[in-house]
Amino acid sequence: MTNQALKLNKYSVGTGDRFAHQAKAQLQACIKALDAGIEVVPVWNKSNREHIIIGSEPSSARQAADAAIRALGWKLPYFCDADHITSQTVARFLDPCDFFTLDVADFIGQPAPAAEIDAFVKRHPELAGSIELAGADDPFEITPQILKQTAQKFLAAVKKAGEVYRIIEAKRGAGNFISEVSMDETDRAQSPVELLIILAAIADEGIPVQTIAPKFSGRFNKGVDYVGNVAQFESEMVLDVAAIRYAVRQYGLPENLKLSVHSGSDKFSIYPAIHSTMQRLNAGVHLKTAGTTWLEELIGLAEAGGDGLALAKEIYAQAFAHREELCAPYATVIDIDPARLPSPAEVSGWTSEQYTSALRHVPGAAAYNSSLRQLLHVGFKVAAKLGPHYLDLLNANETVIAKNVTENLFNRHIAPVFLGIPVKTARTADALMMEKA
């Protein structure tokens, strides 16, 4: 598994661009990182679910990315990620994408044939016992029973990943795309021990995985901060990195294999932990965000006032009216308090400042409303239905929107994770960097 033509950089950021209008503004955030002395390469991710809701084709994401790269003269790598695809949905992504997130969460817990479980356990005597890992204080203690149970739980899912991987490989050729395996959209977090066993199975399947997205403990709700124990997250991440390093050496997985954090956007309180773990262990990370850019479009429209603000209010009113339908597909990853949702009548009287300060995720700000933010986060279907009316206003207000998109991605995500500048001071991250320079 050494023939990796296409290689993902140590630091990368996954950005979603629901309406394919902000690629340039997003790329600008990576350029700011480069100016600050760090290479963070962009990966434009879009899932099949997003394409279906919006009515778009994966080729449109590719065109938007290519156009942005040309316009801004970006010389480093960049990728288009077929996010959370399965064997059922991969087909239309094969041409335009060069990064594939093989989502096998639905197959976790499905039984694999007993003979395959036994063969796996026999093939991996090194996994049963006490395993010393560089970077971990205590060894992993894996009993034969734990090994077998873990194989029973994950082997079918990993086989499924192999199936999807081979569909892509047959079409694009080995080494011509990046593979990520994701297991985050499930109920229970995977432990570092489980991750190690999963990686052994992934190597057996011959998948040259470059990023792996486990489910971490704690809640990763859409568009709002992390809910959970940050110290526990950090110690788990440290052990995950140790497990990855061991698997790279032991099983010949790609050397640049790293964690992918499917953040659901805005996990500000774990960003310092991610940064310090990366620093301490000299590890890379792929930070995947998604809907945060779409919310910046709304913020930009609201900030613009006039027709833009009117449309932002209209979108809230419709999202409020259809909240049950909009929230249903995301039920496991949102926590909206209906009592905290302002009525559309109230919002219709808001100024630009009232709208943007309720929506903008400034931790600790009194006006910030996480319920409203989550509802709008999943409410992009409303804008999709507005079609040209929405897109025309995006174009008309491009400058103010682009400024919000770039600032948000750089100050609130890239700077804290990759440069170690806390989100608290996000509004002044630019100023801090100028001081540093």
Binding site for Zn ion (CB under 5 A): 184, 262
C-beta of 179 vs 318, nearer to Zn ion = 179
Q: Least distance in Å: CB of 101 to Zn ion?
A: 7
Q: Least distance in Å: CB of 420 to Zn ion?
A: 25
Q: Tell me if 320 sits within 8 A of 341, measured CB to CB.
A: yes
Q: Least distance in Å: CB of 215 to Zn ion?
A: 9
Q: Least distance in Å: CB of 182 to Zn ion?
A: 5
C-beta of 374 vs 404, nearer to Zn ion = 374
Name the burial class of residue 328, with classes exposed (0-12), middle (13-18) and buried (19+) by CB atoms within 10 angstroms of its CB. Answer: exposed
User: Which contiguous run of DSSP H or E holds residue 1?
Assistant: none
In which region does residue 252 sit, left (phi positive, over 0), alpha (psi from -120 to 50) or beta (all else)?
left
Q: Least distance in Å: CB of 95 to Zn ion?
A: 23
Name the burial class of residue 149, with classes exposed (0-12), middle (13-18) and buried (19+) by CB atoms within 10 angstroms of its CB. Answer: middle
Q: Least distance in Å: CB of 380 to Zn ion?
A: 16
C-beta of 184 vs 407, nearer to Zn ion = 184
C-beta of 100 vs 390, nearer to Zn ion = 100
- Which ranges in 74-191 belong to alpha helices (H)? 114-123, 144-172
Q: Least distance in Å: CB of 382 to Zn ion?
A: 23
DSSP characters for 172-234? H-TTSSEEEEE--SSSSPPPHHHHHHHHHHHHHTT--EEEEEPPPSSB--TTS--BS-HHHHH
Q: Least distance in Å: CB of 48 to Zn ion?
A: 12
**How far, in whole angstroms, is CA 131 from its chain's centroid?**
30
Determine what percent of the chain falls in helix, strand and coil, rounding each to the nearest 5: 55, 10, 30
- Residue 157 corresponds to which amino acid? A
Q: Which residues contact 249 (CB under 8 A, 6 or more apart)?
A: none
C-beta of 216 vs 418, nearer to Zn ion = 216
**How far, in whole angstroms, is CA 253 from its chain's centroid?**
22
Nearest partner of 301 among 313, 314, 312, judged by Cα: 312
C-beta of 50 vs 314, nearer to Zn ion = 50
**Closest residue to Zn ion, based on beta-carbon distance:** 262
C-beta of 169 vs 184, nearer to Zn ion = 184
C-beta of 222 vs 245, nearer to Zn ion = 222
